[in-house]
Amino acid sequence: MYQLFTYLMHQKEDLDVHGILIYPYNGTEVNEFYRWSDRITIEMLTVNLDDSWADIYQKLIGVCIK
């Protein structure tokens, strides 16, 4: 998370940036969204790899559309 945050902080000031960390589900569901400033957001979520490929696809597409 620190590495992603650092990367986002060093982008041009005129860009709105959104970083996403995706982890495999390990028994704890994670779906967190942090807004650092008006231009920087970080999202963390888990994906259950035991789900069907269609469900995994829908979850990941939902992240990209936000």
35-64: pLDDT as tens digits: 999 999 999 999 999 999 999 999 999 886
> What rounded mean pLDDT belongs to the chain?
92
Q: What is the pLDDT of residue 66?
A: 60
Give the residue from 16, 24, 52 showing the smallest Cα distance to 8: 16
pTM of the model: 0.79
Q: How many Cα atoms occupy the beta-carbon half-sphere of 51 within 13 Å?
A: 15
